Amino acid sequence: MNDRAVPEESQDFNGFIRRIRSGDAAAAEELVRRYEPLIRREVRIRLTHRRLGRLFDSMDVCQSVLASFFVRAAAGQFDLRNRSQLVNLLVEMAQRKLAAAARRQYRQRRDARRVSDGAGDAVNHAVAGGSGPYEVVAGRELLERFRQCLSAEERQLAEWRSDGIPWAEIAVRLGGTPDSRRLQLLRAVDRVTRELGLEE
């Protein structure tokens, strides 16, 4: 009985991630329901400095994390095998985004009274309208904008990775090495997420 429980759970998780990669709105909403409180809690714990607490809101950072996650997941960037790895990834992304936003604020030496935009502006620029994570992940507008910014070859790479095709097979199809193709997609995703305002 126990032997079957692990594979079934793993199968369920793999199916869930496949749905996320395809831009399935129901799967995206499920992910938000499950993990948004965890991300916001992580951010709030780190907003211990009073000035940071005035500059950033946990919802803003959470929206930015979720938007980046969905775009990168759709490009097949993450090889997640279980929910524990997903939780660790989301927490790490939240920590990085908050740290990057804080560094930017300190660099620019902004007074909290002069700050009109927070960490969530990236999402507001990328997705018109909506005020919460559910609006961010609803539909496929963000993923469509992401795909449009990729070259034809980059789009093909992202589609194959999203379908779970191994890097070795992709290298056979397109030439090059698995590592060079992996790096090509990583650079493309980094470039486009910056263009969309999803990354610092």
- Residue 21 belongs to a domain: yes
In a domain, 200, yes or no: no
Average pLDDT in the chain:
76
Instruction: Report yes or no on 14 lying in a domain.
Output: yes
Residue range(s) defining the domain that contains residue 118: 2-195
Please give the average per-residue pLDDT across 111-119, as a whole number: 47
Q: Is the pLDDT of residue 5 over 60?
A: no
Q: Look at residue 175 and tell me if it is in a domain.
A: yes
The more confident residue out of 119 and 12 is 12
Tokens of 63: 């929206």
Query: Is the pLDDT score of 137 beyond 50?
Result: no
Of 23-37, 147-161, 167-181, the poorest mean pLDDT is in 23-37
Let me know if residue 97 belongs to a domain.
yes
The number of domains in the chain is 1
DSSP 109: T
In a domain, 131, yes or no: yes
Asked whether the beta carbons of 77 and 185 are under 8 A apart, the reply is yes
DSSP per position, 61-80? HHHHHHHHHHHHHHTT----
**Spacing of C-alpha 25 from chain mean position:** 15
